[in-house]
Structure 1
Amino acid sequence: MDLAALQSLLGALPGTRVACVGDLMVDRFVYGAVTRVSPEAPIPVLARSHELKMLGGAGNVARNVAALGGSVALVGLVGGDGEGHEASRLVGEEEPAIEGYLVTDADRPTTLKTRFVSSGQQLLRVDLEESRPVTGEVEQRVIRTLRDAARGAGVIMISDYGKGVVTDGVIAAALEAAAETGAMLIVDSKARSFARYGEVDLVKPNAAELSYATELPTETDEQIEVAIARALELWATKGVLVTRAAKGVSLGLRGQPVRHFRTTAREVFDASGAGDTALAALGLALAANASLDDAIAFAQLSSGVAVGKAGTATVGPDELIEAVLSAHTAQAEGKVATAQRMVEEVARWRAQGLRIGFTNGCFDILHRGHVAYLAQARSWCDRLIVGVNSDASVRALKGEGRPVNDLESRALVLAGLRSVDLVAPFDEATPIKLIEAARPDVLVKGADYSEDQVVGGAEVKSWGGIVRLADIVDGQSTTAAIARMALKEAKG
């Protein structure tokens, strides 16, 4: 997802309302230091320093919706115990963007997951829970509450951790509410089969869950495609969205080929709750009328940031913008190549049947004329290589005082443009060595040259390529820009 699309989507999220029903938990993190082994048994002794409590499970989905700027009606079940009161307090006091629709069952405990952590490493997790399905009057209260909570929601999300809240009756109520309101219905579940959810819009298993449910392997793209096809035979869902960790996600919709969405690799600090973050971002984006592709990209970005944080963490808009900017910088750096790597990239592109273009210049102060020129050059090919003069080469051509910007700065700015696929610096007066190494199909130069003046033109034609002259924007040049700046400084 590029920055403009992200900012547009983030601007649409405030005021967007979703509903989430599922297994509400309290996540408790006990932090401390381990400095010795117990004399009683070969186990570490944790010297407790502090602890934190936060909403987990369906509650973590709601927290992430709120952190992204949306509002959420949270339908969940708590016990008549201290942790149930704590969950109600967390919703009411610490999460004002979450509307709590909590049902109390005095006969069961609130699900509590306690994690003991030292130096960023989980040592032990202790779960207090009861997984029997809710029945009778408690189930009916959940159903009535769900119907109230779904009013005005653009998307209803089911977060089923298998702790008993998401019964067949609750699923039927969610389907009815979605049909009545026009909301999309998305399911994220730890169940071994997704058949019980009926004709929902999307189910979101991970690759292992899909493999278990279909009894098929899910390692490669091809295996995922076969497994999704099988899932759509077994389940009534309209679509399957499979999360595949570092391999991205894969989407299968009825009557359409499976599509794969790659993701930027990120360092994983703690994967706790990353699926909740993805569900929250996906549902909220769709409720804000984003396209499915944009919603998937938003979910990938959000969960990618979440895994770099400790605990069941939420993700905010500023962090997403920072992540996109960082990824863009890294992507730009990856486009700057030596002559040898350029040759390797060209070989890979040719194997894919792609048309290679080449142009060159100093690109000292990038201006709108350059941007238009490079965009036109890219329209004539599938991949565009830009040869850029080294600092010494620019100085030899333009004289002392040039370049204004050094090679690294110029190369990275060029690489940041969507129209540029590779930047290759050269130290000579002309790029002829690069041209002969790349053997482009299209050689592009500005229309201020004639075709017979273009360096490398004869060589490109000799192997069957062509020379194209791109339009020049009047009044736009680095020399003119420097002259204007000098004039302004002189005027004070």
Structure 2
Amino acid sequence: MEDTKKFTDNKVGRILVVGDIMLDIYLEGEIDRISPEAPVPVFKYTGERFSPGGGANVAANLNAAGAKVSLLSVTGKDANGDKLMDMLAQMGIDTGMVIRSERSTTVKTRFIANDHQQVMRSDIEEPFDISEDEEAAALKALNDRIEEYDILVISDYKKGFLTGHLVKEIISLSRKKGIRVVADIKDNKDGRYNGAYLLKPNKKELSKIAGENLGNKDDVIRAAKDLLNRSSCEYVLVTLGAGGMILVGNDSCFHIPACGKEVFDVTGAGDTVLAYLAAMLALGKDEKEAVMIANTAAGIEVGKAGTYQPSLSEVMALFYGSAYDDPSGGSGRIWKRSDAAFLRDSLKGKRIVFTNGCFDVIHVGHIRCLNEARKLGDVLIVGVNSDDSVKRLKGKNRPVNSLNDRMEVLAALSSVGHVISFDEDTPYELISEIMPDVLVKGGDYLREEIVGADVVEKNGGKVVIIPLTEGRSTTSILEKM
């Protein structure tokens, strides 16, 4: 999708989704009377819409996140299968490894009445295992193309595609190639998911795997650790609905609260979690941050009717507006250098002002300059030199305050929208990536002396020099101490 810029510079590579795909149909109508023939409501049809479901919805979510996605699955040679394949093709999802079978395409038809209320669901499915020939074809396709992918996602809806043998072969081949497997599982019958990188059951599914009713959080953690050890995986992520998520690793355990403020429809929420988790891992995020971002994506999804695929810019704007990203638990406006592209995408449509500096000891001159800069646009981004960068520029005794402290103080100022660090001696590369509408520098600089002025003006932006407050500087303050 255009608004995600396809994961800027394609850093995510490619992701393969393997699993059961289906077509979701939403029949919309009204109910205002009871049938005279039987005590049942009369559904007055007003329209319909279609959406990819199951593993196809995972792929659609990955596509919305900007990833390059391929599908390995099976669907019927019927009209519903044609409809599903056409939808996926229009999204730009690679369906070259989807086997067309004599079986019926899995279809879930939901009847949506007054105020978007789901009143009934009708399913078409033939959940028997695929044939040996189809399994062999799937394995050949995987063998031929597996080296194209950075992450492999398994979406198991128990509709017959993921046989025990096929799953074991997929994980074995992926491990040999050094490709992480992230799997949304219903169970781990016969140990088929052993050796995957991360397993994602929900609480009900984990209860089934554990063979007991899991009550409180401690029960869930204990069962997750047991699954972790028995399956020889690196992580288990348990989704708890309104209770959030629990991520368990060999030496770690985190509980992430749910971030959805309004739950409208939970349909497809698990698919969104799986997709954004895989996308963020492929992008290089650590597991905890990847789960936090996936949790944010799910919070958006459950606030919509039916399955919904939130865009990358939507998710990142909410995530970096939450308290999750900020190590201090503060404003949620502190960014890593590697996330510059996300920052720019999340501010699409805003007039961005950028300035930069060491900000080692913040004084009234800084405050006045930042206040004036903020007036020049919708949001002010401040680039901050890292500790190593300050040391190279100012000497071995600087900075006085650490990068984290300097960024937290800046983020607390009402004039500052976002703060982002950079390790280079100059912010030229950062400015080129943010591409602000206004570049501000405080002092008596000439325009040609300002780093980044050329790229900003070439892009149609402007450069503004704000005079410094006389007699106010970090150096003069330190000299008095």
1:158 is aligned to 2:154: yes
Query: Which whole-Å deviations, capped at 9, do the CAs of 1:139-197 have from their partners, x for residues lacking one?
Result: 21122223334231101111000111101221123123312432101110223658321
| Structure 1 match to 2:192 | 196
Bigger shift: 284-293 or 122-131?
Answer: 284-293
Matched residue, 1:252: 248
2:282 aligned residue: 287
Pick the aligned partner of 1:26 from 16, 23, 26. 23
Q: How does 1:92-103 map to 2 (within 5 A)?
A: 92=89, 94-103=90-99
Letter in 1 for 2:68: S
Paired residue for 1:182, among 178, 184, 196? 178
- Equivalent residue, structure 2, for 1:81: 78
Alpha-carbon spacing, 1:127–1:479, altered in 2? closer, same or farther (3 Å):
farther
Aligned counterpart in structure 2 of residue 270 of structure 1, from 265, 271, 279 = 265
Within the alignment, does 1:301 sit opposite 2:262 as a pair?
no
Residue of structure 2 aligned with 1:135, choices 131, 136, 143 = 131
In the superposition, relative to structure 1, how do residues 414 and 311 fare at CA in structure 2: closer, same or farther (>3 Å)?
same
Distance change >3 Å, CA 100–CA 377, structure 1 → 2? same
Q: Distance in 1 between matches of 2:46 and 2:92?
A: 28
In structure 2, do the counterparts of structure 1 residues 325 and 182 end up closer, same or farther at CA, with 3 Å as the change threshold? closer
Per-residue displacement from partner, 1:212-254 (whole Å, max 9, x unpaired)? 2113454433222211222234323232111122332222223
Contact 1:81 1:109 in 2 (8 A): yes
Give the whole-Å Cα distance in 1 for the aligned partners of 2:471 and 2:40: 71
Structure 1 residue aligned with 2:211, among 210, 215, 221? 215
Match of 1:117 in 2: 112
Superimposed CA distance per residue, residues 428-486 of structure 1 (whole angstroms, 9 cap, x where no aligned partner): xxxxxxxxxxxxxxxxxxxxxxxxxxxxxxxxxxxxxxxxxxxxxxx977999xxxxxx
Q: Which residue identity is paired with 2:33?
A: R
Look up the SS of the partner of 2:31 in the other structure. Answer: strand
- Matched residue SS, 2:267: coil
Note closer, same or farther for the CA distance 1:99–1:257 as it changes in structure 2 (3 Å cut): same
Counterpart contact for 2:243–2:257, Cα < 8 Å? yes
Match of 1:167 among 163, 168, 172: 163
Q: Aligned equivalents of 2:228 and 2:320: distance in 1?
A: 38
The answer (yes or no) to whether the contact 2:71–2:93 under 8 Å persists in 1 is no
Offset, 1:318? 2.8
Aligned 8 A contact 1:24 1:57 in 2: yes
* Contact 2:5/2:66 (<8 A) preserved: no
Unaligned runs of 5+ in 1: 1-6, 337-360, 387-409, 419-474, 481-492
Rg bigger for which structure? 1
1:69 to 59, 66, 77: 66
Question: How far did residue 378 of structure 1 move?
Answer: 10
Distance 1:366 1:263 in 2: 39
- Aligned pair partner of 2:236 in 236, 240, 247: 240
Distance 2:204 2:471 in 1: 59
The 5 A counterparts of 1:443-462 are none
- DSSP-derived class of the 2:45 partner: strand
Letter in 2 for 1:147: N
Post-superposition offset of 1:288:
2.1
Shift of 1:99: 3.8
- Corresponding letter in the other structure for 1:257: S
**For 1:19-48, what per-residue CA distance to the aligned partner results, in whole angstroms no more than 9, with x for missing partners?**
011001011111112222211122222221
Aligned residue for 1:29, secondary structure, equals strand
Provide the aligned C-alpha RMSD in A. Answer: 4.2
SS in 1 for 2:149: coil
Is 2:33 the counterpart of 1:36? yes
Q: In 2, distance between residues paired with 1:145 and 1:415?
A: 48
8 Å Cα contact 2:182-2:198 kept in structure 1: yes
The two structures have a TM-score, normalised by structure 2, of 0.66
Is the Cα–Cα contact under 8 Å of residues 187 and 206 in structure 2 kept in the other structure?
A: no
Question: Out of 47, 51, 57, which is 1:54 matched to?
Answer: 51
Residue 61 and residue 48 in structure 1: after superposition, are their counterparts in 2 closer, same or farther (change >3 A)? same
Equivalent position amino acid for 1:59 in 2: A
Q: Distance in 1 between matches of 2:33 and 2:148?
A: 55
Change over 3 Å in CA distance of 1:85–1:246 after alignment to 2: same
State the alpha-carbon separation in 1 of the partners of residues 414 and 34 from structure 2: 52
Number of corresponding residues: 369
* 1:310 CA displacement: 1.3
Supply the AA of the counterpart residue of 1:249: M
User: Do the aligned residues in 2 keep the contact of 1:367 with 1:476 (CA within 8 Å)?
Assistant: no
Normalized against structure 1, the TM-score is what?
0.64
Q: Letter of the aligned partner of 1:33 in structure 2?
A: E
Identity %: 29
Rounded to whole Å, the distance in 1 between the matches of 2:34 and 2:209 is 42
- Mark the CA change 1:364 to 1:194 in structure 2 (over 3 Å): closer, same or farther: farther
**Are 1:160 and 1:190, in contact at CA under 8 Å, matched by a contact in 2?**
yes
Change (3 A) 1:65 1:57: same
What is the CA–CA distance in structure 2 between the aligned matches of 1:144 and 1:180, rounded to whole Å?
16
